[in-house]
Structure 1
């Protein structure tokens, strides 16, 4: 399918614009989304939502419910993307719902990852961590909420500007600022998590947590690299190479998050770390 490029966006020659009230003059995605990818992603995350929620109830590890919430956000986001792909890729509401839920979902998933470190620290030993668990949870979750609000605001403004054929540069810069802050915060978390696990490596092995901590580390790095991709995509500007090629979205947005939820399904945190998150060292 040949793309028709415009200075103001992308128009699919095989998908005429319905010209509805909520339809934008161009496809803001930069391409017509794939229904196969969107439908598969919705099904994948729904199955993992069912599994993770069932495990949370079984193990009474209620602190992991943020992960289930993130998974249901992924499902909603990809359902909206499916509607864009199958029904109308020009529809502004479908795009906003797709972007909002797919951007916010990893924040909830990462909140679970932050909680894992906070649960590991008292179990393994607080002396190995540079920060106490309460500070880690409060700082990183608050920072993620702030960065997400900024990102969503920027994305919504981009949609509005595109629909009015106005310059979206300022809106894109707002989105870029939110992503840059998120990358900065995650960089700090990666350093903290890596230093803690290195200093506590002998205790981690003694507690038979080696495989779980490996899965935790890989998942953290995957989410971190996914956030860097989002930053690079936004830094290129609208209709840049990363934004207008769905292969990059599939490989650097969907695939990393899909792998993370699979890793935590195999090494379920509520079973490996414990049902409760304590803030003091074990006696």
Structure 2
């Protein structure tokens, strides 16, 4: 009964009484990540309005979700037993990367739309529909598992195993879909290199591609970490040591979204006019190199 009462209100850490985290979350980390995601959100919102790239709003929304999650961890640093704060952070920090991946899917679609249908196996719109659908499925599974597991984690002697297994299934599915996306992105780069599309664009598109690759790698690393973390269980080594969460979730997500503040698509994506001219130029070069086929 005593432990149940701790789940409501604000109580400082009591020696010998464990928390749902396995530790007391760091106040400094909570504040730092709220500030970092807040700055990125403000910049993304300003950049979106300035360049009228409305689809980049997903980065702002993702930052807001991250802020809510880290606010929950900041709250937990002062009230480590509070169940509302715990549920608040676990539910939001699970879903936040989904908004970042959605932005990346749209970005690759924009590249393909500008450089031509022949630069990709799939149509540009299919990237959004297929992979966002996969993210939604993954999100739903993780949310269900997270609700089951966190509900048990805030109970005395609760069984978190069933919910944890469901969460792992959702994250593994997300990892699988991101892996497929990575293969398609590599194919896109290979095709555009062969057709000399990327080489003849202005230099700005190469850093933007680099930003996309870096963001995907950060999200990928985070997904691998969360998978291993949950496989170890709620009393495992990774989940009970905050430094891993700070470095492999928080820091990875800051880099994944902030890189697009520095290399924003609104400034670096080539215009339709530029890419149309480039495609005509490339086509002309191909005709000059193959005069026999052009005369047929």
**RMSD, aligned α-carbons:** 2.3
The structure with the larger Rg is 2
1:194 and 2:190 aligned: no
Distance apart, 1:239 and its partner CA:
1.1
**Contact 2:229 2:238 (8 Å CA) reproduced:** yes
Which residue of the partner structure matches residue 252 of structure 1?
Answer: 248
Shift in CA distance, 54/70, structure 1 to aligned 2, threshold 3 Å = same
Using the size of structure 1 for normalisation, the TM-score is 0.87
Using the size of structure 2 for normalisation, the TM-score is 0.84
1:217 and 2:227 aligned: no
**Aligned equivalents of 1:110 and 1:96: distance in 2?**
23
**Contact 1:61 1:274 (8 Å CA) reproduced:** no
Q: Which moved more, 1:34-43 or 1:147-156?
A: 147-156
Distance apart, 1:161 and its partner CA:
1.3
Distance apart, 1:19 and its partner CA:
2.7
Mapping of residues 47-196 of structure 1, within 5 Å: 47-86=39-78, 88-164=79-155, 165-196=157-188
**Aligned equivalents of 1:190 and 1:143: distance in 2?**
14
Q: Which moved more, 1:129-138 or 1:16-25?
A: 16-25
SS in structure 1 at match of 2:48:
helix
Residue ranges of structure 2 left out of the alignment (5+ in a row): 12-16, 281-296
Mapping of residues 230-249 of structure 1, within 5 Å: 230-249=226-245
Q: Which moved more, 1:103-112 or 1:266-275?
A: 266-275
Shift in CA distance, 282/111, structure 1 to aligned 2, threshold 3 Å = farther
- The structure richer in helix per residue is 2
Please, which of 203, 207, 232 is the counterpart of residue 197 of structure 2?
A: 203
Which residue of the partner structure matches residue 41 of structure 1?
Answer: 33
Which residue of the partner structure matches residue 284 of structure 2?
Answer: none
Distance apart, 1:55 and its partner CA:
0.4
**Aligned equivalents of 2:246 and 2:7: distance in 1?**
30
Distance apart, 1:275 and its partner CA:
8.6
**Aligned equivalents of 2:148 and 2:263: distance in 1?**
39
**Aligned equivalents of 2:90 and 2:244: distance in 1?**
15
**Aligned equivalents of 1:92 and 1:203: distance in 2?**
54
Distance apart, 1:181 and its partner CA:
0.5
Distance apart, 1:21 and its partner CA:
5.3
After superposition, what is the alpha-carbon deviation per residue over 1:177-212, rounded to whole angstroms, capped at 9, x for unaligned?
A: 101101110100111111111221331231121111
SS in structure 1 at match of 2:5:
coil
Distance apart, 1:116 and its partner CA:
0.4
Larger RCO (CA under 8 A, 6+ residues apart):
1
Distance apart, 1:273 and its partner CA:
2.0
Residue ranges of structure 1 left out of the alignment (5+ in a row): 1-15
